[in-house]
């Protein structure tokens, strides 16, 4: 009988301003440290994906956001876990990004996004954005 890998559910935001996408660099003391990612994080039990994303973006960057439609999803197996990601288009309602629970942040043009190193689970979406597929408004 095979063991079922635990599932981690993650919400991530595509936050766009002036045609650029907000990305954040993972802290140095967490798995995949130093890689860049779309802001977001793990969903807590009983929490909606949208509430998770609003909470995580506030914790990481100090932004109040509106979570709009889901634009992509991905599944990835790593370190004995199944990662299920949902990506949502988001709008900033209040605040400017601040470095709170990340090493750095950047606003990057879609054509420049592939110059940044992302976790494997984010790569399909990164490639779609870099190739010019219309995912973001």
User: Tens digit of pLDDT for each residue in 108-131?
Assistant: 999 999 999 999 889 999 999 998
Distant-in-sequence, close-in-space partners of 51: CB < 8 Å, separation ≥ 6: none
Question: Whole-angstrom Cα distance, residue 48 to residue 40?
Answer: 13
Q: How is residue 39 annotated by DSSP?
A: S
Mean of the per-residue pLDDT values of the chain: 91
Portion of the chain with pLDDT greater than 90, in percent = 75
Tokens of 53: 């994303």
Report pLDDT for 2: 61
| Domains of the chain as residue ranges with CATH | 7-130 (3.90.79.10)
pLDDT category, 28, cuts 50, 70, 90? Answer: confident
Q: What's this model's pTM, rounded to 2 decimal places?
A: 0.90
Do residues 124 and 87 touch, judged by C-beta distance below 8 A? Answer: no
Tokens of 36: 């860049």
Question: Whole-angstrom Cα distance, residue 78 to residue 57?
Answer: 23
Report pLDDT for 32: 77
b/e map 17-45, b = 16+ CB within 10 Å: eeebbbbbbbeeeeebeebbbbbbbebee
Q: How is residue 18 annotated by DSSP?
A: T
Helix (H) or strand (E) holding 130: helix 123-130
């Amino acid at each position: 009988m095979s063991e079922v890998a635990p599932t981690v559910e993650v919400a991530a935001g595509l936050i766009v301003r002036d045609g650029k996408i907000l990305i954040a660099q993972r802290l140095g003391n967490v798995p995949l440290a130093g890689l860049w990612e779309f802001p977001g994080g793990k969903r807590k039990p009983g929490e909606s994906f949208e509430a998770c994303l609003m909470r995580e973006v506030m914790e990481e960057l100090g932004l109040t956001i509106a979570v709009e439609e889901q634009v992509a999803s991905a599944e990835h197996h790593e370190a004995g876990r199944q990662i299920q990601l949902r990506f949502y288009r988001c709008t900033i309602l209040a605040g400017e990004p601040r470095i709170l629970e990340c090493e750095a942040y950047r606003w990057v043009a879609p054509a420049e996004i592939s110059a940044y190193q992302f976790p494997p689970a984010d790569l399909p979406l990164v490639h779609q954005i870099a190739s010019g597929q219309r995912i973001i408004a």
